[in-house]
Amino acid sequence: MSFERISEARSHGGSQGVYKHQSRATGTEMTFSVFVPDHQSGARLPLLWYLSGLTCTSANVTEKGEFRAACAEHGIIFVAPDTSPRGPGVPDDSEGAWDFGLGAGFYVDATERPWSEHYQMWSYVTDELPALIADEFPVDMERQGITGHSMGGHGAMTVALRYPERFGSVSAFAPIVAPSQVPWGKKALSQYLGPDQTAWRGHDAVALIEDGARIDELLVDVGTADSFLDKELKPELLEAACRDAGIALTLNRRLGYDHSYYFISTFMADHVRWHAEHLNR
């Protein structure tokens, strides 16, 4: 599986690279970033996936996430894929809406036209990209964690709930916990997956937990000044689902913080440290 390096820079005692490759899943060129801390020759390091939110690319967290110092300290490789396929042949929302189409793939495999040809982000982040990373970077695939922001928090939790044996740690920043119940999610899932809401439940963390999916532990941070908190994020629904299912949820409500990377970067080191503690047990 071939890929091309776009850039590479020395940072925090490691190497920050940005790469692109031709994806079989999406039928497009895809870009992703990888931070590899310095390590002994032959060593295999734990891997932390980061799934980004609406409108973002891999560049947002790579440039503003402030994860490298913590990853270098704890010896963790950090991988950030894009949020959707891109390119001249990839359909976008007909009205140019920012919360659907390009940059808003919602980490699902679309079944509805015209989205189904390229919007295969579930297969990309759960199958194709992990295989590439395992082949080309010094990762220990037995020690994987996953996190994400907003739409990416939704993706991280649903991936972990459906592949609990794969991930030793799961966290999220301001996640969309129940997309079937909020405007962002209803818009995306109805157009990508069709009107049958039973198909949506496999991409809804609260629904997955209600239907029996389990993980041991979950760390979530939200900001109390997040303008999307009450309408789109609804962390109280996740809190209730985890309580009923016996899942150990740490839900931090961060006073005065919003939905931006000012919030994420403030608590990123805490999340990296939490993942390290679980992956290095």
Structure tokens at 280: 């290095």
Contact of 129 with 32, CB cutoff 8 Å: yes
How many whole angstroms from its chain centre is CA 169? 13
- End-to-end Cα distance, the chain: 32
Is 226 among the catalytic positions?
yes
The total of other beta-carbon atoms located within 10 Å of residue 89's CB is 10
Q: How far is CA 127 from CA 84, 90, 168, in A?
A: 15, 21, 17
Choice among 259, 271, 275, 278 that is catalytic: 259
Is 275 among the catalytic positions?
no
Choice among 150, 169, 171, 278 that is catalytic: 150
Three-class secondary structure of residue 49 per DSSP: strand
Torsional sign, CA 50, 45, 267, 249: positive
Structure tokens at 234: 């609804």
Is 196 among the catalytic positions?
no
Place of tokens 């970033």: 33
Three-class secondary structure of residue 73 per DSSP: helix
Choice among 33, 169, 226, 275 that is catalytic: 226
Place of tokens 């950090």: 78
Q: CA–CA separation, 137 vs 36, rounded Å?
A: 8
Structure tokens at 232: 């789109």
Q: CA–CA separation, 111 vs 109, rounded Å?
A: 6
In this structure, the chain runs to a length of: 281
Closest CA to 213 of 169, 166, 158, 174: 158
Contact of 179 with 186, CB cutoff 8 Å: yes
Q: Which residues are catalytic?
A: 150, 226, 259
